[in-house]
């Protein structure tokens, strides 16, 4: 019998991806202090990619300790430009600064994923996508932020590719699922390998 599958997340996007793939699962938010974990990792000069994987592991582990026998999926994503790691903008003005700082440059979305059971990580994986923002004028950014408003605050880069944010880009290298923060292909492959889903 396949184990109970649990997504350690309250993200509607991640839930949608899992549901669209036909997976039967429960969503349970992880009770961790992400900023504290990030701060500790920054003290050790961890790369943004490592931060994404460690946060995914922490989420999967925390929920797996509460849900005996369940196979728990943890995931997290960081956005980086060189060594700079971005966080969700606090307000519309910060969203504007984020977008302007990306203009004419290529940044990375790093999506970490982990599977845990009973307080033990069974597997983890990192996928990343490189996104090139076209050169943007300050006037365009002003109009873009005015049109999109506060919904930009829910995205680390102040854009949503499935919406008007697609207009910011000249090139995208990487898969859609990695960009949305849940690398589905490696996840499904591992779940089949563990006989957790029909293979």
Q: Helix (H, G, I), strand (E, B), or coil: what is residue 105? A: coil
**Residues belonging to the active site:** 76
The residues spanned by each domain of the chain are 5-193
Contact 182, 111 (CB under 8 A): yes
The DSSP-derived string for 73-89 is: EEEEEEEEETTEEE---
Q: Can you name the CATH fold of 5-193? A: Maf protein (3.90.950)
pLDDT(42) > 70: yes
- pLDDT value, residue 2: 67
> Per residue in 92-131, pLDDT tens?
999 999 999 999 999 999 999 999 999 999 999 999 999 9
Residue 192: in which H helix or E strand, if any? helix 184-193
Question: What are the beta bridge partners of residue 86?
Answer: 79
pLDDT(3) > 80: no
> Per residue in 140-195, pLDDT tens?
999 999 999 888 998 888 998 888 999 999 999 999 899 888 999 999 999 999 99
CA distances in angstroms from 115 to 83, 131, 167, listed in the order given: 27, 27, 35
């Amino acid at each position: 019998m396949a184990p109970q599958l649990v997504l350690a997340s309250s993200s509607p996007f991640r839930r949608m991806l899992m549901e669209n793939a036909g997976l039967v699962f429960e969503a349970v938010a992880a009770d961790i202090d992400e900023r504290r974990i990030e701060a500790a990792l920054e003290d050790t000069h961890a790369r943004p990619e490592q931060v994404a994987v460690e946060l995914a592991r922490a989420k999967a582990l925390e929920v797996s300790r509460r849900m005996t026998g369940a196979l728990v999926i943890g995931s997290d994503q960081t956005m980086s430009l060189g060594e700079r790691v971005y966080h969700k903008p606090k307000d519309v003005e910060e969203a504007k600064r984020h977008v302007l700082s990306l203009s004419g440059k290529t940044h990375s979305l790093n999506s970490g994923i982990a599977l845990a059971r009973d307080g033990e990580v069974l597997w983890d994986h990192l996928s990343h996508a490189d996104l090139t923002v076209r050169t943007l004028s300050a006037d365009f950014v002003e109009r873009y932020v005015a049109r999109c408003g506060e919904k930009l605050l829910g995205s680390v880069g102040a854009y949503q590719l499935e919406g008007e944010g697609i207009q910011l880009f000249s090139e995208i290298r990487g898969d859609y699922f990695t960009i949305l923060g849940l690398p589905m292909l490696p996840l499904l492959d591992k779940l089949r390998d563990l006989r957790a889903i029909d293979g």
